[in-house]
Amino acid sequence: MEFPLTFGLQKAGLPLILMSRKTNNLCFLIDTGATHNTLFDFVYEHFKSELKLLEGTYRTMGIEGHYKETPIIEATFNFEGKDYTSTFSVLDASEAIKQVQEETGIQIHGVLGVQFFIENKWIVDFEKLEVRSNGKI
Protein backbone atom coordinates (compact mmCIF):
# COMPACT_ATOMS: atom_id res chain seq x y z
CA MET A 1 0.00 0.00 0.00
CA GLU A 2 1.22 3.45 -0.89
CA PHE A 3 -0.98 6.39 0.10
CA PRO A 4 -0.14 10.01 -0.83
CA LEU A 5 -0.45 12.65 1.89
CA THR A 6 -0.71 15.50 -0.61
CA PHE A 7 -4.51 15.91 -0.43
CA GLY A 8 -4.54 16.67 3.31
CA LEU A 9 -1.45 18.83 3.01
CA GLN A 10 -3.00 20.87 0.18
CA LYS A 11 -6.45 21.23 1.79
CA ALA A 12 -5.51 21.73 5.44
CA GLY A 13 -1.74 21.90 5.63
CA LEU A 14 -1.88 18.68 7.68
CA PRO A 15 -1.01 15.03 6.96
CA LEU A 16 -4.46 13.42 7.05
CA ILE A 17 -5.80 9.93 6.40
CA LEU A 18 -9.46 8.99 5.93
CA MET A 19 -10.47 5.71 7.49
CA SER A 20 -13.91 4.16 7.54
CA ARG A 21 -16.00 2.64 10.26
CA LYS A 22 -18.96 0.78 8.75
CA THR A 23 -20.77 3.63 6.93
CA ASN A 24 -18.85 6.59 8.37
CA ASN A 25 -15.55 8.08 7.26
CA LEU A 26 -13.24 9.40 9.95
CA CYS A 27 -10.34 11.77 9.40
CA PHE A 28 -7.15 11.13 11.36
CA LEU A 29 -4.14 13.37 11.74
CA ILE A 30 -0.79 11.61 11.37
CA ASP A 31 1.46 12.67 14.24
CA THR A 32 4.86 10.99 14.33
CA GLY A 33 5.55 12.81 17.61
CA ALA A 34 2.57 11.24 19.41
CA THR A 35 3.37 8.14 21.44
CA HIS A 36 -0.28 7.02 21.62
CA ASN A 37 -3.25 7.08 19.28
CA THR A 38 -6.11 9.38 20.19
CA LEU A 39 -9.81 9.30 19.40
CA PHE A 40 -11.58 12.53 20.26
CA ASP A 41 -14.33 12.23 22.83
CA PHE A 42 -17.15 13.46 20.54
CA VAL A 43 -16.39 10.54 18.20
CA TYR A 44 -16.19 8.10 21.11
CA GLU A 45 -19.59 9.26 22.39
CA HIS A 46 -21.11 8.71 18.93
CA PHE A 47 -19.67 5.19 18.49
CA LYS A 48 -19.48 4.16 22.16
CA SER A 49 -21.65 1.06 21.74
CA GLU A 50 -19.40 -0.22 18.92
CA LEU A 51 -16.05 0.33 20.67
CA LYS A 52 -14.40 -1.77 23.35
CA LEU A 53 -13.59 0.10 26.56
CA LEU A 54 -10.46 -1.38 28.15
CA GLU A 55 -9.44 -1.35 31.79
CA GLY A 56 -6.93 1.23 32.93
CA THR A 57 -6.08 4.69 31.67
CA TYR A 58 -3.34 6.49 29.78
CA ARG A 59 -1.66 9.56 31.15
CA THR A 60 -1.81 11.72 28.04
CA MET A 61 -0.68 15.24 27.31
CA GLY A 62 -3.56 17.14 25.77
CA ILE A 63 -3.24 19.57 22.89
CA GLU A 64 -3.04 22.49 25.34
CA GLY A 65 0.00 20.90 27.06
CA HIS A 66 -1.56 19.57 30.29
CA TYR A 67 -1.49 15.92 31.35
CA LYS A 68 -4.83 14.12 31.71
CA GLU A 69 -5.89 10.60 32.66
CA THR A 70 -7.83 9.26 29.67
CA PRO A 71 -9.86 6.09 29.13
CA ILE A 72 -8.42 3.50 26.75
CA ILE A 73 -10.48 1.92 23.98
CA GLU A 74 -9.84 -0.62 21.28
CA ALA A 75 -11.12 0.31 17.84
CA THR A 76 -10.99 -1.16 14.35
CA PHE A 77 -10.97 1.03 11.27
CA ASN A 78 -10.78 0.19 7.59
CA PHE A 79 -8.22 1.81 5.31
CA GLU A 80 -7.77 0.94 1.66
CA GLY A 81 -9.76 -2.29 2.11
CA LYS A 82 -7.88 -3.58 5.15
CA ASP A 83 -8.95 -3.52 8.81
CA TYR A 84 -6.57 -2.09 11.40
CA THR A 85 -7.12 -2.51 15.14
CA SER A 86 -5.32 -0.52 17.80
CA THR A 87 -5.82 1.09 21.18
CA PHE A 88 -6.71 4.75 21.51
CA SER A 89 -6.92 7.20 24.39
CA VAL A 90 -10.17 9.15 24.45
CA LEU A 91 -9.38 12.85 24.72
CA ASP A 92 -11.41 16.06 24.80
CA ALA A 93 -9.76 18.37 22.28
CA SER A 94 -12.89 20.24 21.24
CA GLU A 95 -11.44 23.76 21.20
CA ALA A 96 -8.39 22.86 19.13
CA ILE A 97 -10.40 20.72 16.72
CA LYS A 98 -13.05 23.42 16.38
CA GLN A 99 -10.36 25.91 15.41
CA VAL A 100 -8.89 23.56 12.78
CA GLN A 101 -12.38 22.94 11.37
CA GLU A 102 -13.15 26.66 11.19
CA GLU A 103 -9.84 27.40 9.45
CA THR A 104 -9.82 24.47 7.00
CA GLY A 105 -13.40 23.17 6.76
CA ILE A 106 -12.10 19.72 7.74
CA GLN A 107 -13.14 17.95 10.91
CA ILE A 108 -10.46 15.77 12.51
CA HIS A 109 -11.65 12.79 14.54
CA GLY A 110 -8.40 11.57 16.07
CA VAL A 111 -4.65 11.15 15.87
CA LEU A 112 -2.60 8.20 14.63
CA GLY A 113 0.66 8.13 16.54
CA VAL A 114 3.85 6.09 16.48
CA GLN A 115 2.08 3.22 18.24
CA PHE A 116 -0.23 2.75 15.22
CA PHE A 117 2.66 2.88 12.74
CA ILE A 118 4.74 0.32 14.62
CA GLU A 119 1.81 -2.08 15.20
CA ASN A 120 0.75 -1.96 11.56
CA LYS A 121 4.21 -1.64 9.98
CA TRP A 122 3.39 1.67 8.33
CA ILE A 123 6.21 3.95 7.21
CA VAL A 124 5.91 7.69 6.61
CA ASP A 125 8.10 8.70 3.69
CA PHE A 126 8.66 12.41 4.25
CA GLU A 127 10.56 12.80 1.00
CA LYS A 128 7.74 11.44 -1.16
CA LEU A 129 4.98 12.60 1.23
CA GLU A 130 3.30 9.22 1.44
CA VAL A 131 2.50 6.41 3.83
CA ARG A 132 3.64 2.90 2.92
CA SER A 133 3.06 -0.52 4.35
CA ASN A 134 3.85 -4.16 3.57
CA GLY A 135 7.57 -3.51 4.01
CA LYS A 136 7.89 -1.28 0.93
CA ILE A 137 10.52 1.43 1.27
Q: With CA atoms as reference, report the closest residue to 60 among 52, 49, 51, 71.
A: 71
Predicted confidence (pLDDT) at residue 137 exceeds the cutoff of 70: no
Quote the pLDDT of residue 11.
Answer: 82
pTM listed for this prediction: 0.86
Q: With CA atoms as reference, report the closest residue to 21 among 58, 47, 41, 42.
A: 47
Average pLDDT of every residue of the chain: 86
Domain ranges of the chain: 26-126
As assigned by CATH, the class of the 26-126 domain is mainly beta
Band (108; pLDDT cuts 50, 70, 90) = very high
Taking only the tens place, the pLDDT of each residue in 58-77 is 887 766 777 888 899 999 98
